[in-house]
Amino acid sequence: MEPIVIAKNLTKSYTKGLRALDNVSLTVNQGKVLVVMGPSGSGKSTLIRTFNGLETFDRGELSILGIKVNSTPDERKIQKIRRRVGMVFQQFNLFPHLSILENITLAPVHVQKRRQIEAEEYGMFLLSQMGIDSHAKKYPSQLSGGEQQRVAIARALALKPELLLFDEPTSALDPERINEVLDAMRRLAEQGMTMVVVTHEIGFAKDVSDQVLFMDSGKVIETSPPSIFFSNARHERSRKFLNQLDNH
């Protein structure tokens, strides 16, 4: 079976000489969870944002769900990918002027042209899975951060994606709200969802991920299974990073 994500030597510089991505290569197979770790500014966010065309790259090869992406973006291809790939952001980015249910039904109705009733039924099903169906009629600002992020996950799931991207989904949350989001993500992984997750949550990475990819200064330092990465990381740079995380 073809892997969901194949990246070969992805390179991108925002300013000349400074590389946000430096020859990044990776593969994510169906049903696997890849956790991307690294210090801030290491290029983790840039990397996963290239996967749904929010960022472009200068050189290298990228294939998402078998669709080849070039360094010069082809809008139609990007649109095709976005319909099959869900994304969850650090700042939730819910639409504040739409109700929770409207946030979720927007894309199914206007992108997939599904019937309103059908989209609402599926939306309510997703909300109940996330344990927030009682909030369907409310607006984003009336919900806590953890609830908003679970709505964002439900919104990403509404298009029945084959790949889910998480860009630091718990970094903007109060500590006591983090677990409710991580639990929802755990359940998705158990159901066999293919996921790429940028996070600092070691516990989640240990339990859920199949591979941990560690980045620094736009380079992939190492890719290891969590059992090796967290106990016996191959690279000095990775160990230093983990030590710093532990001390916090």
Query: What are the residues binding another protein (CB under 8 A)?
Result: 52-54, 79, 82-83, 85-87, 89, 91, 93-97, 106-107, 110-111, 138-142, 155-156, 159
Residue 52 to residue 84: CA distance in whole angstroms? 9
In the complex, minimum distance from the CB of residue 37 to another protein, in angstroms, rounded to a whole number: 22
Could you give the C-alpha distances from 21 to 3, 30, 96, 135, 150, in angstroms and in order?
21, 24, 33, 40, 30
Judge contact between 12 and 57, C-beta under 8 A.
yes
The phi, psi pair for 65, rounded to 5°, reads 50, 35
Shortest distance (Å) from residue 148 CB to another protein? 12
Q: How far is the CB of 4 from another protein (least distance, A)?
A: 17
3-state secondary structure of 160: coil
Residue with tokens 């019937």: 115
Helices (H) and strands (E) in the chain, counts: 9, 10
* Minimum distance from residue 135 beta carbon to another protein (Å): 12
For residue 151, the minimal CB distance to another protein (Å) is 12
Measured over the CA atoms of residue 41, residue 47, residue 49 and residue 55, the dihedral's sign is positive
Distance CA 133, CA 86 (A): 20
Q: How far apart are CA 69 and CA 32, in angstroms?
A: 21
Distance CA 86, CA 51 (A): 10
With respect to another protein, which residue has the nearer C-beta, 142 or 227? 142
Q: State in angstroms the smallest separation of the CB of 110 from another protein.
A: 6
